[in-house]
Structure 1
Amino acid sequence: MKATLGQKIRELRIRKGLTQSDLSAGLVTPSMISQIESDKANPSHSLLSSIAEKLDTPIEYFLTDTETQMEKVSVYRIARALMANKDYEKAVPMLLDLEENPSPHVSSIDVAYDIAECHMNVGEFAKATERFESVLDSAMARNDVGISLLVLNQLGEISFQEKNYPIAIHYWKKAHEMIKKGQTAELYLHAKIVKNLGSVYYKLGEYGEALTYYREADGLLDGSNQFKQIGDIYLQLGFTYREMGEFEKAAEYSQYALSIFESLNHMKLTIDVKAKYGIVSGETGNLEEASRVLATCMEDYREIGCLYEIGQLHSDLARLLIQDKQYEQALKHCEDALTYFAEENSDRAHVYRMNGQIEQARGNLEQAIDSLKRAVVVYQDQQSFGELVKSYSILGDIYKEKGDFKEAMECLENMNAAMEENLRERKIVI
């Protein structure tokens, strides 16, 4: 069996009589070296190069077979990004390939779960059910409660969508009973399972049962910051009381729901202001303060369900890090940002363009060209001529750097055409 990257580093370190502290000195923390050696973390190319130098070993020794594994990690991240973008049909072949050719750095049960989720989201319920049940068997055998509860909830969702309410109740009650028996569950998922039980009984016209579960879900979230979920529960309570003819209570809970949703809008405005402060801090040179403030804003947005805004902040942080030439961190924020933006969204094109700038700075010109071309496609579709001008300018510079002057000239011509369209759009050219 081939040694992993971590095993190779550990073996050489011990052979040279170095401690983890010795190897980490001037590079990273000893705990990071420990994580790398146990294959829980993957070093960047620059860090791996420094480690190789300290161990007096060519970096190629470590890259043997490691590149393949890193490629698989990259493929998994791309597949997950496609799923976040609701492009499930494109994600499935990539996930199936990972399933057939597993990697120690990618959880096989996570891949199987993601394949099932893709089938579910494109309406292939039979395939999804079969897959989820297989994942459930594996999770139960491993005593993985977290995955088991997630799968049971999804199986209930499928049955609910198929209007097979008794089966939906079966799955959700099974999950509910596991939690009641002492199995730990993440609060949001716990409350969602209970709320789902309320919803299915509401559909069946059993309003007393529905109320019981809605109230339980409300009690679980009492004092939490899951405001959107609480608002949804209050709205469902309003519907249920209305069906029962208790119109005063229906109005009361509907008003609670309205107040929460209005408060969420006010909270978002507060976070927006804080985020602007963070961006300004970064633009004036205080990148540490900017990173701290924007990370806090991301968590705040997550709590109120504003996921698109999280993507925007990842994009803003990437831009600030590029200006500071922190390319590795910038690239990570670009990857994170893409998981929040739809394919046709211009924000996605901005991220592609930043990816191109990062790869250009790192000397990866082919990757830079590929990213810029992706940005150009989106900007052309949206007729964002101003952004096209900037993109063609960067792309032309990359082609010149590569020595491909024919393509560089074509970019210049496209840039001039986009500039004319931009001026015409702004009524500067008649």
Structure 2
Amino acid sequence: MNHIAQRIREMRIEKGLTQAELAEGVITRSYLSQIERGAFEPSYDVIEKLAKKLECNIEDLLNQKPKNKSLLLLQIQRDIKLAEKSILESKINKAKKIIENPTFDLLEEDTSDEEKGILYWIKGKIYEHANHLTDAMANYRKSAQVLNEVNQEKAVRSLVDLGSVYTLNNQNYEALNILNKANKLAIYEQISGQTRISLLLNLGIVHGKLNELYSAINFLEEALDLNHSMELYYKSAEINMALGICYMQLNKTDEAHQCYSKAIDFFMLINDVENQAGTLNNLGILLRQTGHLQESVEKFNKSIALFKELGKENKIVNVELELAETLLHLKEYEKLEQICCQIIEGSAEKQYVGKANELLGDMEKARKNYAKAIEYYQAAKKLTDTNSGAMSRLINKQANIFHILGDYKKSSTMLVEHMTN
């Protein structure tokens, strides 16, 4: 009698069940009898159902290391399911620990195509979480290829995640091609539910990044409608955040404010602190643009506090620069100067130091300290790419000061030289 046969028999007797009672609704009594004698090895699904009837965990039936290949394979099949469940619950490290079992490498070829495809998807998620985007894309691509023949819904899931990583990598046209392929497959196979919602969200994001804002809004609104029809809130935070960004770019400030506020509430509910902080930053920018300066400061300070909890230094600096710009509008120059000087002294990122110098230049210009303003703008230019929009902005600001000072020749020469370079 093998180990699992012995465990099933022991636990059945312990529960006071006959073979007929345990087998009912799962398998025939005679098949259970043969399993208990060790004549047949049950499939993973049968073990799962028997464990449920025995009111125990599958681990209780597999609590010793099996010595034959078939039982090792059953454990791998179980672990793939557990790892997939962990990923869906955002427990990435737990999934990673599950599949680090060296037996996976030995018996991976013996798993079904569907299990292989799911395992590639799990690995893709783990690589993406570690910001190894090239490895993530390779695994998502393999997953979609394998699953396309056996489970189209999970193939769409893998394509959506592949498109999402391309978007993260700012390869937006490649992302759009992949997501369009996923959309065609989803329509053909009539795939709905959470997979469809995730697809619509990512289509909305990539269309937004390509400045196709009305198309983006249509996809995102469709995702919200599908959630509503299914009485779900799946990815509602991300959908509302993306809608807020689109409406903000279209200067539809009321709609943007409403979407950002909803997104923040949803992120709080699911304890997604990083995205909550990011959306607070977006809302702070919107409030500044609409003249609600004190409210803007409040949102930026909340965002900074949350990013500090997470230790996200670069994101803290980014929000601090947005806060400094609002302080410029409020003419709170002392606070602005303190923030910008700290960034100049402490940040290794040249774009942040450049922006801090630019804001100090704006402050000195507002104070009519024109010579000092030009110095700060010049310091910012040294840290700015020549052909960037930021460089054009800095040159225009310097030229404007020379114009104010009556040096029209220098002002026009500076602008002409920049346009001809």
Q: TM-score, normalised by structure 2?
A: 0.47
Higher relative contact order (CA 8 A, sep 6+): 1
Q: Which has the larger radius of gyration?
A: 2
